[in-house]
Structure 1
Amino acid sequence: MKKTPWLVCLLSVSAFASGGTPGEKVIYGSDDRLDLYQVQNSRDVGLADSTVALIEAQNLTLNAGKYAIAAGQFGREFGLCTDEPFFDQPSGAFCSGSLVAPDLIITAGHCIKNAGDCASTKFVFGYAVKKEGAFPTEAAAANVVGCKEIVARKQEGNGADYAVIRLDRSITNHAPLAINRANDLKDGDHVGVIGHPSGLPTKVAFGDSLVRTVNKPGYFMANLDTYGGNSGSAVFNTKTGLIEGILVRGENDFVYVNGCRKSNVCPATGCRGEDVTKIAEVAKLIPETRTNPPVPPKPRSSWPTSHRAPRE
């Protein structure tokens, strides 16, 4: 896999989006993305703890039990307008994933395509802003793990897109996430996403996103607030906390405004929607998780509104 710089990927995105291959993503209605320190629901914080950033091994340097993470500044890397949310944060990830067994990660198939990608990718837990203004620049060695093998992979332009990755060691300091094995997701169900939009530190988007249609071969569609870098993110049922799918494709991320880029904002019911590989596509490969997440407390009445570019 060619190591394509973020900006080059961004400039070429229209070709991806129109062809049904992995494309960019977008904001629907209000921007529901929150940094980890802003998340008040303890269940959702726990879910985020078992998600990972996919970072190229060449961008990690081990020293004294910690990996330094080389990353560009989000706003400058993408040529964004200075009022764009998260402008000053680092952009170090190229995709997202989640832990579903002590030694298994699920992500998008276009994120890890072959043995070379497996060898050159590290999965990093805790790449998040846990305190206001404290951007992540390093990760403990215990939170960085490599890829041993690709257990299963599929990449269909207008269908399922997934990779099941076996890690080079079992994870004991993060709990595997539970998946929905009932295959009972319905149109109108509330869903949310946790991942790394545009390579940013973890963003939790559990706002008012809904399933638009489940009647698609291998995937469903929802109006999730996602970007390039969210590819591979776990999409959760916000009521149960169970994984319903893997985020893979969507609308264009950014639009030009007066010589700089701003987030593409669509009406909640507008634009094409985001494509999510159904978790049923990989369920047989994932061991049963003994305990499901607790049902969350009644949601807050309002959410902050201010607040992918895959490798090729």
Structure 2
Amino acid sequence: MKRFILCLILATYSFILSSQELDSLQIQYPFAEPGTEVTRGIFGKDDRKEVKYATGFEEFVRATAVMVPKYLLVGDSHFSATSLRERLSYQFDTDRFARDVKFLDQPTIGNCTGFLIAPDILVTAGHCINTLEEANAYYWVFDYTSESEIVQDKYVKVNPQDIYEAESIIASHFDWENDIDYSIIRLSRKSERSPYRFRTSGKVSINTPIYAIGGPSGLPLKFSTNSVVKDNVPSNYFITNNDIFPGNSGGPFFDYRGWIEGICVRTAARRYNNDDEFTADYYYDPKCNCVRNVVFSNEQSVSVGSQAHIITEIPYSVLFKAVYENLEYAITNQINDRFEAWSVYEWIFDSYYANDFGRLEIAAIESNNRTALETILELTKEELTDEHSRLILNAALNSDTNDTLKFLLDSGLLPDSGEDYTYTLLQTLVMNNKLDMAQLFISYGADINAVTNGGDSLLHLAAQTGNKDMVVSLLKMGLSVNSKNYRKKRPEWTAKKNKHKSLSRYLKKVRKGKITV
């Protein structure tokens, strides 16, 4: 049974899942921390259509790329192309085609498909790319659609900004026998495109409607609909009845919300005309002396359906990396709607990954992104360690904004955080002549009587810098001009030693009662 109803409204397509069908699905929460509980053929009618009709999924189209051999590039923007008609005519030695063979006059340049899960992290199948040496032979081209400009009937014109190269392989594994088939590629530069979000916990349910975007047979991107999950029992993959061909490999399988559930990796195939070889897309039919699509009935989909490598069966470290880098990118570039979308993975903020690679509260402070900072801190403030609080407050000190500091202190971060540090935050402020911030910290209860390892009081530290305003402020708060460090030296001696003679004289007069503060 098809799970989506295709509605024609004002001459555009939109895809609507009925509330009754939604209620019948047992959907497992997809955004929890990883590891926690909570070549392709057609099935029935060919439901592939141009991506321009993917209403509601435009951002996902933009985040999907095709893999194109570098030798096809002419200049910096034109790829040599052969039409599907020319390619199949050559392959099967006929110029006759069945009526259901679609897209014959469109170009074919791609080999595989890939999709962004972070600004410069692309996912594809391991059988498409498994090593950097293999990756170096290809470009990844975005916005390759039926609306791409065709020049002289033999070139596809592409904006050079839509052409990317691989920089490194983050992780890859291709083991056909054990159904492991993924590759995670670091691109040579970041893209401003919105990446796909993806499942990090649970598993996709039987009968969940599934979509695909990809470049079947090297064609411009196509949007494939009217399919569902038929089998989710295997540990590494699930089966759908989605209409995909060779060229879709590495492309995204996602649900109606746009959550990535899997990577397109395998298809059903069959023999025709007593041929020893299997085919999964087109075949020659001598009865009509024409080329036909490989077609399976929907009843066959459980046993021979399209296979997807489950997205949660790639290394957890990759999932952590992608979530973190999406949030970091959104924070630093002030893209607050994207930040809000990726904040659904709230476990990342207090994860080992954020602790190792940089707290995102700090990224928000350094980017002056108050919206992000407030959101993150609301989730993390109860679990912050003394060390993390110190790091976050340090970042605020370096930002030189009292407003951010006040917000952090109002949120419950302790002004004396960092007990293992050589200097308290207040001592650091005094040594750096930050009077306003020092006064703010004192007003929130920072210890004004703390001394350094050498016994220097805050007054000694202020005398060392020569900051008279700081000295006067500390004296008014009750610090003693008679205090001595472990060398038995008063603040006036420290001022004199550091060539602040007038301040030394001032302190001496205060000590002797000649001046009242």
Q: What is the number of equivalent residue pairs in this alignment?
A: 262
Alignment CA distance shift 1:146-1:273 (3 Å): same
Q: Does the 8 Å CA contact 1:223/1:269 hold for their aligned counterparts?
A: no
Alignment CA distance shift 1:292-1:265 (3 Å): farther
Alignment CA distance shift 1:86-1:154 (3 Å): same
Q: CA deviation at 1:183?
A: 2.4
Q: Does the 8 Å CA contact 1:242/1:292 hold for their aligned counterparts?
A: no
Q: CA deviation at 1:269?
A: 2.3
1:241 matched to 2:241: no
CA RMSD of aligned residues (A): 2.2
| Equivalent in 175, 186, 205 of residue 194 of structure 2 | 175
1:48 matched to 2:61: yes
Q: Does the 8 Å CA contact 1:160/1:217 hold for their aligned counterparts?
A: no
- d(CA) in 2 for partners of 1:170 and 1:88? 33
Q: Does the 8 Å CA contact 1:56/1:122 hold for their aligned counterparts?
A: yes
Alignment CA distance shift 1:138-1:291 (3 Å): farther
Q: CA deviation at 1:157?
A: 1.1
Q: CA deviation at 1:184?
A: 2.9
The aligned amino acid for 1:45 is: E
Output the TM-score relative to the length of structure 1: 0.79
The match for 2:174 is: 155
- d(CA) in 2 for partners of 1:241 and 1:115? 29
- d(CA) in 2 for partners of 1:291 and 1:97? 25
| Equivalent in 266, 270, 286 of residue 296 of structure 2 | 266
Alignment CA distance shift 1:292-1:190 (3 Å): farther
- d(CA) in 1 for partners of 2:164 and 2:238? 30
Q: Does the 8 Å CA contact 1:74/1:88 hold for their aligned counterparts?
A: yes
1:126 matched to 2:143: yes
- d(CA) in 2 for partners of 1:132 and 1:270? 39
Listed one character per residue, the Cα deviations across residues 71-99 of structure 1 (whole Å, up to 9, x for unaligned) are 11112212374342101110100000001
Alignment CA distance shift 1:157-1:30 (3 Å): same
1:89 matched to 2:102: no
The aligned amino acid for 2:317 is: K
Q: CA deviation at 1:216?
A: 1.0
| Structure of greater Rg | 2
The match for 1:257 is: 285
- d(CA) in 2 for partners of 1:292 and 1:133? 36
| Equivalent in 220, 223, 229 of residue 238 of structure 2 | 220
Structure scoring higher RCO (CA < 8 A, sep ≥ 6) equals: 1
- d(CA) in 1 for partners of 2:227 and 2:52? 21
Which one has the bigger strand percentage? 1
Q: CA deviation at 1:54?
A: 0.4
Alignment CA distance shift 1:95-1:191 (3 Å): same
Listed one character per residue, the Cα deviations across residues 210-229 of structure 1 (whole Å, up to 9, x for unaligned) are 11111113111111100000
The aligned amino acid for 1:165 is: I
The match for 1:137 is: 156
Three-state SS of the structure 1 residue aligned to 2:194 is coil
Q: State percent identity of aligned pairs.
A: 27
The match for 2:47 is: 32
Q: CA deviation at 1:194?
A: 0.2
Q: Does the 8 Å CA contact 2:149/2:158 hold for their aligned counterparts?
A: no
1:69 matched to 2:73: no
- d(CA) in 1 for partners of 2:48 and 2:221? 9
Output the TM-score relative to the length of structure 2: 0.48
Which one has the bigger helix percentage? 2
Listed one character per residue, the Cα deviations across residues 83-131 of structure 1 (whole Å, up to 9, x for unaligned) are 4210111010000000111110000001112222111111100000138
- d(CA) in 2 for partners of 1:234 and 1:243? 6
Q: CA deviation at 1:291?
A: 4.8
Q: Does the 8 Å CA contact 2:65/2:141 hold for their aligned counterparts?
A: yes
**Structure 2: segments with no counterpart, 5+ residues:** 1-38, 269-279, 327-338, 343-517
- d(CA) in 2 for partners of 1:162 and 1:59? 25
The match for 2:221 is: 202
**Structure 1: segments with no counterpart, 5+ residues:** 1-23, 294-312
Three-state SS of the structure 1 residue aligned to 2:299 is coil
Q: CA deviation at 1:168?
A: 0.9
Q: Does the 8 Å CA contact 1:27/1:264 hold for their aligned counterparts?
A: yes
